[in-house]
Amino acid sequence: MSKKGRYNVYSDHLKNKYGEKVYKLPVNLPGGCPNRDGTVTSGGCIFCDEKGSGFQCLPNSMSIEEQVAKNKAFFTKRFKAKKFIVYFQAFTNTYWPLDIFKSFIRAASHDEDVVAISISTRPDCINDDYLDFLQKIRAEKGVDINIELGLQTVNYHTLKKINRGHTLAEFIDAVIRIKKHGFLICAHLILNLPWDDENDVIENSKIISAFEIEYVKLHSLYIVEGTKLGEMYKKGEFEVISLKDYINSVVTFLEHLHPDTVVQRLVGKGPQDKLLFSNWNTSWWYIKEQIENELEVRDTWQGKKCNYLNGKALARWRNSKNDKY
Ligand code: SF4
């Protein structure tokens, strides 16, 4: 839990796990996405710009080794960093022929200061062959493997509306396969999609908890010029909820979240360019502080309402004198 003890903070978790602060080294592949090239759908998710959510990365013309070395040198010089997670961040990093995917992962695992590899992808871009290979790499190199799955919401109708090209079923299939291979999972969710309501926020939290997913990243919706979402926004087809309502949604989400899940982010950082809307024109850091303050003010915490697992209806007898269990 954080210093305030109200939710599981990722940086604290990493320090406990690896004994010191660990830094992420973003790697940008010249890849694509089956939701943009017509394999699944064309056009992509309605919020996605052509950078594929990789706006903080180095150019993908650089080799993986160069990107890792350059980012590592930066963190080493600035923060005296010693341990690193290579983070395949932009686009859909498992959407490659298996041989090419293998070469990328091998290139990322040379450096002995790399303690983990984190691979961001879509739920419909994971299969057992790729996971079998990752198991071998873990055994050979002794690195942890984390798979980041974009889900955004569990609501079927909203997933259709945002043109995700998959539903909850593909996410469940990917989670089961990844867990069978013993890797950790981080789920990405957007908590203020305009077609979702509070029930969806709670259901998002319950699904993550029921699958004992280890990490979660919460994002707020950003709207970029040139995207379908941007066009809809300019035509007034939807409104973004207020910052106060976003903070309420995050608090509700945390209350229902399993106490062991680690929260990597409470709000996204958003891209820099061509923005129509991002984080209510304030900094992600301010929003994070407001959420933490709200937890304090309400005297609430992660897991406070996580009472729905393991046969909730039987709980009435759990401490009864007649309880034979
Ligand atoms: S899956 Fe990711 S890269 Fe592909 S269209 Fe959606 S947001 Fe963009």
Domain boundaries, the chain: 10-317
Mean pLDDT within 101-128: 95
Each residue of 34-81: pLDDT tens digit? 999 999 998 899 999 866 555 567 787 889 999 999 999 999 999 999
Number of the ligand 1 atom closest to the C-alpha atom of 33: 4
Q: Are the beta carbons of 277 and 221 closer than 8 angstroms?
A: yes
Ligand 1 pocket check for 28: Cβ under 6 Å: no
CATH architecture of the domain 10-317 equals: Alpha-Beta Barrel (3.20)
Q: How far is the CA of 288 from the centre of ligand 1 (A)?
A: 25
Q: What's phi and psi for 91, nearest 5 deg? A: 55, -150
Amino acid at 276: L
Q: How far is the CA of 155 from the centre of ligand 1 (A)?
A: 17
| Residue 321 pLDDT exceeds 80 | no
Mean pLDDT within 170-178: 98
Instruction: Write down the pLDDT at residue 317.
Output: 87
Ligand 1 pocket check for 48: Cβ under 6 Å: yes
Q: Which residue puts its alpha carbon closest to atom 5 of ligand 1?
A: 44
| Residue 323 pLDDT exceeds 70 | no
Predicted TM-score of the model (pTM):
0.94
Burial class (CB in 10 A: 0-12, 13-18, 19+), 30: exposed
Q: Where are the alpha helices (DSSP H) in 124-197?
A: 128-141, 156-161, 168-180
Residue 59 is classified by DSSP as P
Tell me the chain's radius of gyration from C-alpha atoms.
20
% of residues, the chain, pLDDT over 70? 94
| Residue 2 pLDDT exceeds 70 | no
Instruction: Write down the pLDDT at residue 189.
Output: 98
- State which of 60, 95, 122, 160 you would mutate to test the pocket of ligand 1, scoring each by most atoms of that ligand within 8 A of its C-beta: 122
Residue 149 is classified by DSSP as E
Beta strands 184-190 and 114-121 are: unpaired
The mean predicted confidence, pLDDT, of the chain is 93
- State which of 42, 50, 92 you would mutate to test the pocket of ligand 1, scoring each by most atoms of that ligand within 8 A of its C-beta: 92
Q: Which of 32-41, 61-70, 266-275, 291-300 has the highest mean pLDDT?
A: 291-300
| Residue 210 pLDDT exceeds 50 | yes
pLDDT band at residue 90 using 50, 70 and 90 as cut-offs: confident
Burial class (CB in 10 A: 0-12, 13-18, 19+), 195: middle
Ligand 1 pocket check for 122: Cβ under 6 Å: yes
Instruction: Write down the pLDDT at residue 42.
Output: 86
pLDDT band at residue 325 using 50, 70 and 90 as cut-offs: very low
Q: How far apart, in whole angstroms, are the C-alpha atoms of residue 191 and residue 188?
A: 10
Q: How far is the CA of 187 from the centre of ligand 1 (A)?
A: 14
pLDDT band at residue 324 using 50, 70 and 90 as cut-offs: very low
Q: How far apart, in whole angstroms, are the C-alpha atoms of residue 190 and residue 252?
A: 14
